[in-house]
Amino acid sequence: MGSYGPEVARARGRDERRSPTIYDVAEAAGVAASTVSRAFSRPGRVNVDTAARIHAAAAELGYRANPLARALPTGRTSMLALVVSDVTNPFFFQIIRGAEGAATEADRTLLVADVHESVAAERLALDRALPLVEGVVLGTSRLSDAAIRVVARERPTVVVNRVVAGVPSVVTDNARGARAALEHLAALGHRSVVYAAGPEASWADGMRWRTLLEAAPDLGVRVHRTDPLAPTLAGGEGATTAVLGTRATAVVAYNDLVAIGLLRGLAAAGVGVPRDVSVVGFDNIFGADFCTPALTTVAAPLSALGQHAVRTLLEGLGTRTPAGVRPALLPAQLVVRGSTAPARVTAGLRRR
């Protein structure tokens, strides 16, 4: 049994079927349970001889300290959380992969929470995750700015695809990307463009629409806007009638899923793309070049967004975020494919 044989025997004898606890180790070593806890979580605060006695008793009993429980008092759990609004949206595939790679490089584990475009689900996920993680990355959060700042006061936080004052943010250059899309369409002769809008709570949606409004007069283009849409295939397909009603010759969609949904809806309505109308998406998700026609889109550096967010988060661990922190702006690039073409004089969104 070793030097603590009788005490260990008594501890084991209470219930051979259960795993030993911190209290069993405390009894076997002749110390308080709090001392056992410190011996595992903060060894520098326990006398060397006492710590040796505790570890010998623990080894004899087969006790293993719970690494999460041991880490909670210090907040160093080696885990990070990434909260995404919809994990089924391909926009997040590369972001997750990039974030996971950066976390692995730093010997951290990344927990991913899918909140289904629900503010209530996002709040619940954060309530459960915050006690367990060292920091949080919020991917396209639908929370208010004030709510995000509350999260940032509890744990280091980085926001992806959105800018929140006082909180580190990593975003694509939405303004440059939206302007590039409109410049491309204007160069093709399109003078009436409709924006297939995204969710009302989306920061990126507001940024893209404002850019289109500001750029349109310089380019000699009129822009219209649909009501807010779900950022999904169904959202885009369901907007077909509204888009047709504008009689525009080109569409800039909130994201690629909405754009691909519109391709379906327009085809069903007998409107040819790009014969009658050109369509531009956003993000360059996996599959944007699989549809027919392949989608012209504003490419976001999705993997780099995830990597940069996690690296920014790790740099800020243990520090308070200064007010007025500048967002990291990653470049966007227009990728021209088959869904855009020169405007026809007689073209317009109309049923055939």
What tens digit of pLDDT does each residue of 49-68 get? 998 999 999 989 888 776 66
Q: Are residues 203 and 277 in the same domain?
A: yes
Domain for residue 318, yes or no? Answer: yes
CA distance 265 to 53: 73
129-to-95, 113, 132, 164 alpha-carbon distances in Å:
19, 9, 5, 21
Do the beta carbons of residue 39 and residue 50 sit within 8 Å? yes
pLDDT at 352: 41
What mean pLDDT comes out for the span 96-123? Answer: 95
Confidence of residue 134 (pLDDT cuts 50, 70, 90): very high
pLDDT at 45: 80
Q: Is residue 2's pLDDT more than 70?
A: no
Q: Are residues 188 and 285 in the same domain?
A: yes
Percent of the chain predicted with pLDDT > 70: 87
What mean pLDDT comes out for the span 131-153? Answer: 93
Q: Are residues 43 and 91 in the same domain?
A: no
Domain for residue 335, yes or no? Answer: no
pLDDT at 70: 58
Q: Is residue 13's pLDDT more than 70?
A: no
CATH of the domain at 263: 3.40.50.2300
Q: Is residue 306's pLDDT more than 80?
A: yes
Would you call 234 exposed, middle or buried from its count of C-beta atoms within 10 A (0-12, 13-18, 19+)?
middle
Q: Is residue 329's pLDDT more than 90?
A: yes
Q: Is residue 140's pLDDT more than 80?
A: yes
pLDDT at 50: 92
Query: Average pLDDT of the chain?
Result: 89
Confidence of residue 131 (pLDDT cuts 50, 70, 90): confident
Confidence of residue 323 (pLDDT cuts 50, 70, 90): very low
Domain for residue 12, yes or no? Answer: yes
Q: Are residues 161 and 219 in the same domain?
A: no
Q: pLDDT tens digits for 157-211?
A: 999 999 999 999 999 999 999 999 999 999 999 999 999 999 998 999 999 999 9
pLDDT at 33: 85
Q: Are residues 179 and 294 in the same domain?
A: yes
Q: Is 218 helix (H, G, I), strand (E, B) or coil?
A: helix
What mean pLDDT comes out for the span 242-257? Answer: 97
CA distance 239 to 251: 11
Q: Are residues 199 and 279 in the same domain?
A: yes
Higher pLDDT, 91 or 65: 91
Dihedrals φ, ψ of 167, to 5°?
Answer: -125, 130
Q: Is residue 116's pLDDT more than 70?
A: yes
Q: Which domain holds residue 248?
A: 174-300
Q: Are residues 178 and 282 in the same domain?
A: yes
pLDDT at 46: 85
Q: Domain end: 39, 71, 103, which one?
A: 71
Q: Are residues 165 and 103 in the same domain?
A: yes
Q: Is residue 128's pLDDT more than 70?
A: yes
In this structure, the strands spanning 169-172 and 328-330 are parallel
Percent of the chain predicted with pLDDT > 90: 74
Confidence of residue 279 (pLDDT cuts 50, 70, 90): very high
pLDDT at 218: 97
CA distance 121 to 117: 8
pLDDT at 77: 79
Region class of 211: left (phi > 0), else alpha (psi between -120 and 50), else beta: alpha
Domain for residue 342, yes or no? Answer: no
Domain count, the chain: 3
CATH of the domain at 56: 1.10.260.40
What mean pLDDT comes out for the span 82-110? Answer: 95
Do the beta carbons of residue 276 and residue 345 sit within 8 Å? no
Q: Is residue 217's pLDDT more than 90?
A: yes
Q: Are residues 10 and 109 in the same domain?
A: no
Question: Tokens 């004030």, residue?
Answer: 146
List helix spans (H) across the chain: 5-13, 22-29, 33-41, 48-61, 67-71, 91-105, 119-129, 145-154, 174-187, 203-219, 233-238, 240-246, 256-268, 302-316
What mean pLDDT comes out for the span 226-254? Answer: 97
CA distance 352 to 349: 9
Confidence of residue 11 (pLDDT cuts 50, 70, 90): low
